Amino acid sequence: MKPVRKAVLPVAGIGTRFLPATKAVPKEMLPLVDKPLIEYAIAEAREAGIEEFIIVTGKNKPAIRSHFEPDQRLENLLREAGKEDLLHYASPAYKNLTFVEQPGPYGLGHAIWWTRHLVGDEPFAVLLPDDVIMSKKPCIGELISVHNERGGNVIALEQVAPESAHLYGIVETTSHSERHMEISNIVEKPVLGTAPSNLGIVGRYILHPDVMENLERDSRLPNTEIQLTNAIVASGKSKGTHGVLISGRRFDCGTKRGYLSATIAFALE
């Protein structure tokens, strides 16, 4: 089995739930204490041993790319001001970041499919940076461990209250231990009272390259948003899809409430 070396970070969404803050500033650039959200996801993946990062930006999101590029002007200004200790912010030592531009907000599945030539024929991690996870061990590392043992697809899960289930992708499971389960189906945003379980998907995945083929098939359907969950369910039929109950605390920073909770929790930390 090939190791998980690459991570895809889709950041091309419109961020409607956080308007007007996200009109000019991409959601993933909102600061959590002193770092933009996207840096937390990259740090988590790096700690788990990921070597290459593929960032899917939207057409109007130059700020994300600028954030990671060296800034000679800022470097000069910091030198002139005698603030050498801050120089690493001007020219961050980020290696192996590749940016691809999604042509339009055609859905999470489309954003991932758009990276297929860079991902190639190997398993890969997906991190949605607006889900920030506070934990001792990197959450994506827990998923990589399960993938190393069992292969297939691996999805991070958390328990959700019945009244919040309609906000999540909810999984249907066949076998279940305390923290690990086999997933047979995923229902996107179920109508109140119809959720197949209380386990909702968190924005961390390890995906088998087979998922790209299923996304490719969906991309030929006219006028449909390409759903990632459909492609995972289809891939899971032959490759298996495993769920892992996360051990850390997840904050949905795509919502004002989640973002505010995360700000307080990280600031106190």
* Residues within the interface to ligand UTP (CB under 6 A): 10-18, 27, 56, 102, 105-108, 110-111, 128-130, 254
- The token duo for 249 is 């605390």
Closest of 6, 63, 55 to residue 29, by C-alpha: 63
The secondary structure of residue 265, as a DSSP letter, is H
Closest contact distance (angstroms) between CB of 257 and ligand UTP is: 13
Angle between helices 210-219 and 228-239 (to 10 degrees): 130
CB-wise, 71 or 101, nearer to ligand UTP?
101
The least CB distance from residue 83 to ligand UTP, in Å, is 33
Contact assessment for residue 120 and residue 209, using Cβ atoms and an 8 Å cutoff: yes
Q: How far is the CB of 266 from ligand UTP (least distance, A)?
A: 19
Minimum separation from the CB atom of position 108 to ligand UTP (A) = 4
In this complex, which beta carbon is closest to ligand UTP, that of residue 18 or of residue 205?
18
Q: Considering beta carbons, is residue 17 or 180 the nearer one to ligand UTP?
A: 17
Q: How far apart are CA 78 and CA 226, in angstroms?
A: 45
Which one, 47 or 188, has the nearer CB to ligand UTP?
Answer: 188
Tell me which residue has its CB nearest to ligand UTP: 13
Nearer to ligand UTP, 58 or 236 (CB): 58
Minimum distance, C-beta of residue 19 to ligand UTP, in the bound complex (Å): 8
Amino acid at 132: V
Tokens linked to 69: 């590029």
Nearest CA-CA partner of 241 in 153, 181, 162 = 153
Tokens standing for residue 117: 């030539």
